[in-house]
Amino acid sequence: MRLRFSISVLPWLLALGSWLLLSCEPDTSCHQELQATVQIVLSADSVTTSGDVISYTQWDSISVLGVGCDVGLKGKKLKTIGLELRPDTTLTQYLTYYHGQVDTLSIEHTPRLQYINAACGCAIYHTIIRAWSSDQRVDSVSIINTIVESVAQDNLCIHMHE
């Protein structure tokens, strides 16, 4: 009985030993996205001559330029944009150009260092505290999700009324 018990446990012990050896193997490459960008949904509506409100989720053209950082983008027919938040401060600002008008998008956030593993090192994630616009063309900025990590998810919504 004792011998039979030992033989039946042997495969389990070998499997456990293999798993322990493989799990202790050092990582030599990073397989995780480390770039955390705030994902901004673009929303707008306009009123027709008959008074009907038409909503749409795509802006025909927009340009964005970072204030105090080398970030910029330009695009057409955009539904969302992804922007980096500054790791060296708690306030990131962008100038948004839309049909000749300039708005300043301000995002107050808390950066936090997150250790990933030996191969990847650390990533900087953020928690959004609040967001607002200078209201030249943009009506409102609402927070959808306060956590900004390397997994793409909608964080803010910029709404404009034309």
Which run of H or of E encompasses 19? helix 2-23
Which among 26, 33, 51, 49 has a CA at the least distance from the CA of 148? 33
Span 126-133, average pLDDT: 96
State whether the Cα torsion 23-29-31-34 is positive or negative. Answer: positive
The pLDDT value recorded for residue 137 is 79
Residue range 96-128, pLDDT digits in tens: 888 788 899 999 999 999 998 888 889 999 999
Residue spans of the domains in the chain: they are 37-161
CA–CA separation, 73 vs 55, rounded Å? 24
